[in-house]
Amino acid sequence: MNTVLGKDDRCSVARSLEVLGEKWTLLIVRETFLGRSRFSEIQSSLGIAKDVLTNRLAGLVEHGVLERRTYREEGARERYEYALTPVGHDLAHVMAALSQWGDRYRPTEAGPSRVYIEVATGEPVSVGYTSADGRALSAAEVTVVPGPGA
């Protein structure tokens, strides 16, 4: 995915996908959101080839989405784990939006395996637009206009 740029580098979606768009990358990010941060955890959970995982983790670290940290369990040597940086954490809305779409249009018989709820009420939460002063907006209230880089 590294040279999808070109005439297209002015699009924000393209620039995001430059970092996130390769096969497995978003699934690896999801694993870290679920707290699976170690190489072997991710590898066995996704069933990804080790060389590809090495590759993707390096890319995510390079782009500041993950941070490689050492940890040490008692009686074991130093090992690595990959933790979300603040940059990575800000992918939460991307994850939530993808998750919501998948639940709606590609449901399983068993129902969603994880749901987003409001802490205070326990009611389900969806992804939507929020105005500058914190109101939720419907799709009809939002429009896309050319910006400075257009």
Partner DNA sequence: CATCTGGGTCTGTTTTGCCAACCTAGCACT
Partner DNA sequence: AGTGCTAGGTTGGCAAAACAGACCCAGATG
Contacting residues toward DNA, per CB under 7 A: 2, 4, 22-24, 38-40, 47-52, 54-55, 57, 75-81
Quick one: what does residue 79 bind among DNA, a copy of itself, none, with the CB cut-off 5 to 8 Å set by partner type? DNA
Q: Which residues contact 141 (CB under 8 A, 6 or more apart)?
A: 129
Neighbours of 83 (CB within 10 A): 14
Single-letter residue type at 61: V
Among 52, 53, 61, 96, binds a copy of itself (CB under 8 A): 96
Q: Is there binding between residue 123 and a copy of itself (CB under 8 A)?
A: yes
Print the binding letters for residues 40-79 with a copy of itself: x by CB under 8 A, - otherwise: -----xxx----------------x---------------
Say how far apart CA 131 and CA 87 lie, in whole Å: 22
Say how far apart CA 42 and CA 37 lie, in whole Å: 7
